[in-house]
Amino acid sequence: MQHPLNERISATNTAFKIAAIAGLSASLFACGGGSSSNSTPTPTPSSSSFSLAISDAPVDEANAVVVYFNTVELIGPDGPITFDVRDENNDPQAIDLLNYQGEAFVTIVDATDIPSGTYTQLRLEVTDDSYIEMDSGTFDLKVPSNELKLDGIEALPGVEAAYTVEFDLRKSLVDPVGQPNTIFLKPRGVRLVANDSVGTLLGTVSPELITDTACSGKIDMDSGNAVYIYEGTSLDPDLLGDDADNPANTDEISPYTIANVNYNDDTQSYEFVAGYLPAGGYTVGFSCLALNDEPESDENADVFSFQAVVETDITATEQTTLTFE
């Protein structure tokens, strides 16, 4: 049996502990509660990491397409931001676009913090040193006003803004009338794409399509083969057009891009790669008569046609494989 004095001592101790705990709790609440009272709110990011790369969709006739880049400029809400992309000798950076086809790329602006916001335009300043090498000789490569003006970007706070400039040389190279020894590089076939919104289409074409009877008049069966890539599905095959600036039929559907089909000695197959395609559905046509397709004219069925047409879907940041049989 517990002694009465012990009972009183125990009751006193219990009351003291309760009072101490209550006092401590009141003290903590009065100070705002624990260590969290001294924490600093995480600041909202006000910048984005911007980077820029160069890639290319090739053209048949060129052996080299060398572009000299001086600066990259973003037109933003607080004025332009200029990136000096010259080489280590302070000379314009020379890039042969044909070295960076398909998924290949070269970075000209490394990741750099820029203020977040909407940038209405990206501009590439190039120099008169640019040139193109073809079987028929070397020609000056001119850009109107020495500047390629492209779409803008949205730089979100704390989000990486990684972009690629994709040169579609079939669309952008123009042989101007009355200006010998000069080829124009125009922005109509140059696209600015966000790397996290695009995917890659790659595939093979059967030898039977390469040697289709429609192409029996070709001297070199391995040349002039290409896939034409159109945005959307369930398209009317009769309206799939060639690479004409101003098609005769206003309902004609122009290709989003074109990729050459080349023979791979290692795999002994005819292969193609088209990089930097925005995610979505596509219709893809193969032609063994692409050598006849001139961007300045609208070719008819006598000289240009498709030997196969299929549909596919592109998923962002992934590769999609397609087989023409």
Q: What is the pLDDT of residue 3?
A: 44
* Residue 38 located in a structural domain: no
**Domain check: are 278 and 179 in the same one?**
no
* Residue 213 located in a structural domain: yes
Q: What is the pLDDT of residue 66?
A: 98
**Domain check: are 52 and 179 in the same one?**
yes
Q: What is the pLDDT of residue 283?
A: 98
**What ranges in the chain are assigned the alpha helix state H?**
4-30, 169-172, 207-210
Statement: the pTM of the whole predicted model exceeds 0.85 = no
**Domain check: are 151 and 248 in the same one?**
no
**Domain check: are 291 and 170 in the same one?**
no
pLDDT in tens, 27-57: 434 444 444 456 676 667 889 999 999 999 8
Q: b/e string for 7-22 if b means 16 or more Cβ within 10 A?
A: eeeeeeeeeeeeeeee
Q: What is the pLDDT of residue 22?
A: 43
pLDDT in tens, 283-318: 999 999 998 887 767 777 778 999 999 999 999 999
**Domain check: are 262 and 173 in the same one?**
no
Positions in the chain short of pLDDT 50 = 1-36
Q: What is the pLDDT of residue 245?
A: 65
**Domain check: are 181 and 205 in the same one?**
no
* Residue 76 located in a structural domain: yes
* Residue 15 located in a structural domain: no
